[in-house]
Structure 1
Amino acid sequence: MNEAKATFHVTEEQHMAWSTRDLAEMAGTTVNTIRHYHRLGLLEEPERRYNGYKQYGVRHLVSLLRIRRMADMGVPLSQIDAVSSGAESAPDALRELDVELAASMERLRRARDDIAAILSEHSPADAPAGFASVASDLSEPDRSMIHIYSQFYDEATMADLRRMVEVDADAGAVNHEVDTLPADADEATRQRLAEQLAPSFAQNLIDFPWLSDPLANLSKSKLVAQRTFIEALSELYNPAQLDVYARAGALAQAIVEAARSSSDDAE
């Protein structure tokens, strides 16, 4: 540091003032940013030359560099004065900022993981978080419902849903037929599809008991969630598809109850 200072020999004649553009270039920022700092009262307004132009000095450059330093660390502009002045609240503000930065880093890490999974699996870019490996097997309405579920269920429940989707992917032909089922599908087709879906529905009821009362696992208001689910289902699926799912659910419940009854009789 001292060696660096000794390199420069300053004379009074070398003293000069800088324009706003000069100051911006030296600080690696923009003229508009400097003006913004002036409006906020973060950066002192300099004296003006005879022609009205601002003339900045070293103290302005140092002040600007300090502001930029704290802004680069993520300190909100509204808190820079307090933090830079060494106020008693400064350490608490920095600790709070550190917590926020850690959370941001975790969000970025997850985002990178999601992007890597989407690219690796050749999934749609809007694949629900954690569903990249199966998103291509899901219909547009199914992906939409998963996005909605993610706002009401916790991570553990969403992990269960992902496992269900992975298992259901094996029944691709049946799922595809239901996905493309016309609203006026005949009775025989509806019943056939319901019967084909029922065994996997029943297995899900056994593997994930909370499905018998899906509102119990909600992380938000049951009333809001129920209304949202009903509205979404009625808009995303046609009446024939909803009828198939309802029939399959009833058949699955009957299969589970019969299995339990048989198990009780055996004991």
Structure 2
Amino acid sequence: MTWSTREIAELSGSTVKTVRYYHEIGLLDEPDREPNGYKRYEVRHLTRLLQIRRLTGLGVPLAQVAAMGTDTDGRASIFRTIDAELEATMERLQNIRRELAVLSRPGASPDVPTGFSGVAEHLRDNDRALITIYAQLFSDESMDAVRRTLEADPNPELDEEFRDLPEDADEATRQAMAERLVPFVDAATDHSVTLEPKASTPGRAEAARNAVGHALHALYNRAQVDVLRRAHLISEANGGARPARD
């Protein structure tokens, strides 16, 4: 028994266009033709089509289907690679589901990274934007530290003063605020947060720091950026030491 192109396409769950394409790329042998020129497909063609459909259904690219021969080690390597890709995809989908579950809770905000919804209400748009950038560039441990600091809200009054600082703030105001901010940028104090880039190479880590610097200048006014700069300079001048207490 033999079949026409349309018949074998239907039997195999393919389409006539797909069958012809498999001929073009060498995945499926051309069948013999009848005197009238029509192709007549045999059982071996149907078997091959079903094999191709099974492999592509498992995620094997057509190029690798074509390369598969009698090399069992080579086939096993291809299957292991696809399995690893599927595992990564499943993990990504599970992470997406967890994030969607968090965003479905009352009060959750899509404007901040997962885990920051509890503090988002008290953040302004520029703060939210900066945290979003931080989450992309810095380690999970760093972001956990940022979140804990925001949840603790160690100095809400100072936060508001910094956020409301006008661009034309005078030198004395800037310097005074910088001195009050030192405990929050000084690595030797309880309130500071050390941001570690996710990047695995020095070049990428430097690019991350440069991106943050650019974001600060874009999201905050010149007086606010100047205050942060002064606070870091004071901290460095103090050698990162914990300030003396009365």
Q: Does the TM-score normalized on the shorter chain lie above 0.5?
A: yes
Higher mean alpha-carbon deviation, 221-230 vs 45-54, is at 45-54
Higher mean alpha-carbon deviation, 56-65 vs 45-54, is at 45-54
**CA–CA distance in structure 2, aligned partners of residues 190 and 54 of structure 1:** 88
Q: Of 210, 223, 227, which residue of structure 2 is paired with 1:240?
A: 223
Q: Specify the SS of the correspondent of 1:88.
A: helix
The offset of 1:170, in angstroms, is 8.4
Q: Of 154, 157, 163, which residue of structure 1 is paired with 2:142?
A: 157
Aligned to 2:214: 231
Q: Of 9, 25, 46, which residue of structure 2 is paired with 1:61?
A: 46
Identity fraction in percent? 34
Aligned residues: 244
Q: Specify the SS of the correspondent of 1:206.
A: coil
Structure 2: stretches of 5+ with no match in the other structure: none
Greater RCO, 1 or 2 (C-alpha within 8 Å, sep 6+): 2
**CA–CA distance in structure 2, aligned partners of residues 151 and 203 of structure 1:** 23
In structure 2, the CA distance between the partners of 1:120 and 1:174, relative to structure 1 (3 Å rule), is farther
Aligned to 2:63: 78
**CA–CA distance in structure 1, aligned partners of residues 42 and 244 of structure 2:** 88
**CA–CA distance in structure 2, aligned partners of residues 34 and 120 of structure 1:** 49
The offset of 1:110, in angstroms, is 0.9
In structure 2, the CA distance between the partners of 1:44 and 1:165, relative to structure 1 (3 Å rule), is farther
**CA–CA distance in structure 1, aligned partners of residues 88 and 166 of structure 2:** 46
Higher mean alpha-carbon deviation, 245-254 vs 59-68, is at 245-254
Aligned to 1:187: 170
In structure 2, the CA distance between the partners of 1:47 and 1:249, relative to structure 1 (3 Å rule), is same
1:106-125 → structure 2 map (5 Å cutoff):
106-125=91-110
Structure 1: stretches of 5+ with no match in the other structure: 1-14
1:88-127 → structure 2 map (5 Å cutoff):
88-125=73-110, 127=112
Aligned to 2:127: 142
Q: Specify the SS of the correspondent of 1:148.
A: helix
Q: Specify the SS of the correspondent of 2:167.
A: coil
TM-score, normalisation: structure 2: 0.71
**CA–CA distance in structure 1, aligned partners of residues 39 and 151 of structure 2:** 66
Q: Is the 8 Å Cα contact of residues 83 and 89 (structure 1) preserved in structure 2? A: yes
Aligned to 2:151: 166
The offset of 1:68, in angstroms, is 1.9
Q: Of 11, 14, 17, which residue of structure 1 is paired with 2:3?
A: 17
Q: Is the 8 Å Cα contact of residues 186 and 240 (structure 2) preserved in structure 1? A: no
Q: Is the 8 Å Cα contact of residues 3 and 42 (structure 2) preserved in structure 1? A: yes
Q: Which has the higher helix share?
A: 1
In structure 2, the CA distance between the partners of 1:28 and 1:168, relative to structure 1 (3 Å rule), is farther
Q: Is the 8 Å Cα contact of residues 185 and 193 (structure 2) preserved in structure 1? A: no
**CA–CA distance in structure 1, aligned partners of residues 131 and 137 of structure 2:** 10
In structure 2, the CA distance between the partners of 1:63 and 1:244, relative to structure 1 (3 Å rule), is same
Higher mean alpha-carbon deviation, 224-233 vs 197-206, is at 197-206
The offset of 1:234, in angstroms, is 1.6
State the one-letter code of the partner of 2:224. Q
TM-score, normalisation: structure 1: 0.66
In structure 2, the CA distance between the partners of 1:195 and 1:224, relative to structure 1 (3 Å rule), is closer
Q: RMSD between aligned alpha carbons?
A: 4.3
**CA–CA distance in structure 2, aligned partners of residues 196 and 32 of structure 1:** 73
State the one-letter code of the partner of 2:210. R
State the one-letter code of the partner of 1:80. V
The offset of 1:29, in angstroms, is 4.2
State the one-letter code of the partner of 1:17. W
Higher mean alpha-carbon deviation, 109-118 vs 76-85, is at 76-85
**CA–CA distance in structure 2, aligned partners of residues 235 and 135 of structure 1:** 20
